Amino acid sequence: MANIEELETEKPNPRSSDIDTMSAIEIAKLMNAEDKTIAIAVERTLVPIASLSERIAEAVKNGGRCFYVGAGTSGRLAVIDAAETVPTFNLPYGTFTAILAGGSEAMMKAIENIEDDKKGGVNEIVRHRASSKDVVIGISASGRTPFVIGAIEAAKRVKAFTGCIVNVEDSVLSNMVDIPIEVITGPEVITGSTRLKAGTAQKMVLNMLSTISMIKLGKVYRNLMVDMTPINEKLVKRAIGIITTATGISEEEASHLLKESGMKPKVAIVMALTNQTSKEA
C-alpha cells in the first residue's frame, strides 16, 4: 500500500502553488480551469460506470438493494444521491441506502477520525443485513478508507456484488471489488482537499449510476421522470407538465387524470393514451 503522501490526490498542485497571493477572480479562474478536467476524467470510466449501473438495475429488479458506503465528503454525497431516488423514481425507502461513517451526525458535522473505524464498516453491513441479492459500492478518494474497506469485506463475505468509486489508480478498494471505477482527478488546488475535484467527480458518477439504473428499469419515459412522487405544489405542477408533454392533452385534463390515477403520473399517462380507467392502466 502506498504512503498517503504518495497518492495523486495528496500531492501539491503546481498550478496553485501561489494561490494564497492570487486575487479572488484569479482563484475563481484557476478553480474553474481545474474543474474542466473532471468531466474528461469521468469520460475515461464510462465503461465500468455502465456495467455497474446494469448490475444495480438487475439487483433492484430482483428485490435487492444498492448500498453506498463512504466517510466524510464521499459519504455525504452518497446520502444526497440515495435520498433523491425516492421522490425522483418513486422507489421504496431503502432501495438505495447510503451508509455514512458516523451516521446522521456526520452529515452536519465533520467527525474525521470515524473513517478509521474498519469494524464500524463491517457492523453497518451486518446491521443492514446485506445479502447476495444486493450491490455494495464503496466510495473513497484515496481508495483506502478503513471504514469503507471493512464494509466491502463484509459485503464480499455475504456474496453481495461490489463496486467502488475512487480517485487514484490501483487502490486497495479497486483490487477488492468486482467493478472498480477509478476517476483520476489529480492534485487539488488546496493540497489534499478532496472535497473539491475528487468530490465533484464522485457526485457525477453517482448521478450516472442511479439515473442509468433507473432508466433501465423503466422509471423514465422518453426523458420524463414519469414515476416521480408529486408531494408538494411544485412537484404537482411538474407532474402535470410531464403528463401534458407525454400525451398532448391540456393541463386541465392532465390535472384531472393525475387525481384519478392516485397522483401517479405514469398511470395518468397510460390512462390518457389508452382511454383506460386507473385500475385498468
* Set 8, 54, 58, 84: catalytic member: 84
Co-location of 130 and 170 in the same domain: yes
For residue 273, what is the domain's CATH number? 1.10.8.1080
153 occurs within a structural domain: yes
Residue 64's CB is within 10 A of a number of other CB atoms, namely: 20
C-alpha span between 238 and 257 (Å, rounded): 14
Interstrand relation of 135-140 and 161-166 (parallel, antiparallel or unpaired)? parallel
Q: Give the domain extent around 281.
A: 221-281
C-alpha span between 85 and 165 (Å, rounded): 19
Q: Tell me: the pLDDT tens digits for 105-147?
A: 999 988 878 999 999 999 999 999 999 999 999 999 999 999 9
Mean pLDDT across the chain: 95
Co-location of 205 and 266 in the same domain: no
1 occurs within a structural domain: no
Co-location of 205 and 272 in the same domain: no
Active site residue 10: no
Helix (H) or strand (E) holding 165: strand 161-166
2 occurs within a structural domain: no
3 occurs within a structural domain: no
On the question of pLDDT at 2 being above 70, the answer is: no
Q: Looking at the 3D structure of the chain, how many domains does it have? A: 2
**pTM, rounded to two decimals:** 0.92
On the question of pLDDT at 3 being above 80, the answer is: no
Co-location of 204 and 235 in the same domain: no
Active site residue 115: yes
Q: Tell me: the pLDDT tens digits for 68-85?
A: 999 999 999 999 999 999
Q: Tell me: the pLDDT tens digits for 46-58?
A: 999 999 999 999 9
